[in-house]
């Protein structure tokens, strides 16, 4: 196998501990149903005495009946030993040891059959196959359940984001109404005012008119983003203090204020806040995000969890590729990393003072 691994990628992956999927059910319930059928088949084999059987009709003290009783005890002991070994292997199966657990079942099968040579009790190959199938199905069922939980978490996140959009829409409409009310009131007062008060009201009306226009634009944007669920922003951010240089997150948000999402990401789970290099509005944000992820797929940091959208790549490359798909995108090439740089400066200052303190201790001011 080691020699052929050079030519066969699948064998090489198996040698490295990668599991090759044996089933392809689309839901965990189907895995559960198949697992139930496999266990029923095992029970049926045991009931029919086909799973484990004695190939010789023994006599004990000249009695065939006593010989049969002895053989039945040996079959039950063999079943208990093999089933316990299989159950232990199945319960301990993880992503990094499934091949080893499968080998453990195979070895237990061979070892128990070898020990039973003298009593002629044999575990059938078909029963072994069913146990191996149970192991694989149990593992794949767990993996599918985990995958479904991740997908459900993503759906819930999207639902929360949609709810946030609805709230932002309601807030924007309310704000527009407030400015409209203030403007109407100022206009009514202006009709009765004269002199300096009228001049002051005209200035206020001009300011309120500007604020109303901005509130109206924000309200319209909120409405369109709530209606077009694909509309949103693709952001490119970095966190030099937390992840080092040339590590960027390419993500997407459908919030009206996209920077709120960036602030959330820089919460207590990371030591420093994120710097935003680009915030690109798109009518189809998921498609734009997917296009960028595809380009930089080979530079992903986490190659297992595709929801971890961090890439080790040069910012110039991201800018070049983004402009290809979104020509109007604006980039900020410098990472401010303010908190990180300030923290480094404080550490350098502390080190400097510590060195000065040591120098004072070593060389007194006067002799």
Q: What is the C-alpha to C-alpha distance for residues 242 and 271, in angstroms, rounded to an integer?
A: 6
Would you list the DSSP string of 266-310?
Answer: TSTTSSSPPEEEEEEEETTHHHHHHHHHHHTGGGBS-SS-TT--E
pLDDT of residue 365: 61
Report strand pairing: 247-253 vs 232-238. antiparallel
CA dihedral (46, 48, 50, 55) in degrees, to 10, reads 110
Rg (the chain; Cα; Å): 35
pLDDT digit of tens for each residue in the chain (367 aa)? 555 544 454 444 444 445 678 888 888 889 999 999 999 999 999 999 999 999 999 988 889 899 999 999 999 999 999 999 999 999 998 877 888 899 999 999 999 999 999 999 999 999 999 999 999 999 999 988 888 887 777 767 766 776 777 777 778 778 888 878 888 888 888 777 777 777 787 787 888 788 888 888 877 776 665 555 677 889 999 998 889 889 999 998 877 778 888 888 887 678 888 988 888 888 788 888 888 999 999 999 998 788 889 999 988 898 888 888 777 777 777 767 778 888 888 888 888 777 766 655 555 566 5
Q: What is the C-alpha to C-alpha distance for residues 103 and 89, in angstroms, rounded to an integer?
A: 9
pLDDT of residue 329: 75
Q: What is the C-alpha to C-alpha distance for residues 295 and 319, in angstroms, rounded to an integer?
A: 12
pLDDT of residue 1: 55
pLDDT of residue 227: 53
pLDDT of residue 52: 95
pLDDT of residue 15: 46
CA dihedral (275, 281, 283, 286) in degrees, to 10, reads -10
pLDDT of residue 13: 47
pLDDT of residue 124: 96
């Amino acid at each position: 196998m080691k020699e052929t691994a050079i030519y066969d990628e699948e064998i090489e992956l198996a040698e490295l501990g990668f599991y090759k999927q044996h089933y392809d059910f689309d839901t965990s319930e189907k895995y559960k149903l198949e697992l139930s059928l496999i266990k029923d088949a095992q029970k049926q084999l045991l009931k029919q005495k086909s799973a484990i059987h004695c190939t010789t009709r023994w006599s004990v003290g000249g009695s065939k009946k006593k010989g049969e009783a002895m053989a039945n005890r040996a079959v039950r002991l063999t079943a208990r030993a093999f089933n316990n070994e299989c159950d232990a292997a199945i319960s301990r199966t993880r992503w990094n040891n499934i091949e080893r657990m499968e080998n453990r079942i195979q070895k237990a099968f061979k070892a128990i059959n070898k020990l039973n040579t003298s009593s002629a009790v044999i575990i059938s190959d078909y029963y072994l196959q069913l146990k191996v199938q149970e192991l694989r199905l149990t593992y794949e069922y767990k993996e599918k359940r985990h995958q479904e939980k991740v997908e459900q978490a993503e759906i819930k996140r999207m639902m929360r984001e949609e709810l946030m959009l609805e709230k932002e829409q309601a807030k924007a409409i309310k704000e527009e109404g407030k400015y409209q009310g203030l403007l109407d009131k100022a206009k009514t007062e202006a009709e009765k005012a004269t002199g300096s008060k009228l001049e002051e009201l005209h200035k206020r009306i001009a300011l309120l008119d500007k604020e109303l226009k901005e509130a109206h634009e924000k309200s319209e944007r909120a409405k369109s983003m709530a209606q077009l669920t694909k509309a949103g922003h693709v952001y490119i951010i970095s966190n030099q203090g937390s992840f080092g240089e040339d590590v960027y997150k390419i993500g997407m948000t459908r919030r009206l204020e996209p920077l709120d999402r960036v602030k959330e990401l820089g919460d207590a789970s990371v030591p420093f806040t994120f710097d935003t290099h680009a915030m690109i509005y798109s009518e189809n944000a998921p498609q734009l995000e997917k296009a960028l992820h595809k380009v930089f797929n080979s530079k992903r940091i986490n190659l297992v969890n595709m929801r971890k959208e961090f890439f080790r790549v040069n910012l110039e490359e991201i800018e070049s590729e983004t402009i290809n798909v979104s020509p109007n995108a604006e980039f900020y090439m410098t990472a401010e990393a303010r908190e990180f740089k300030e923290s480094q400066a404080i550490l350098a200052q502390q080190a400097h003072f510590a060195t000065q303190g040591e120098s004072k201790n070593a060389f007194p001011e006067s002799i």
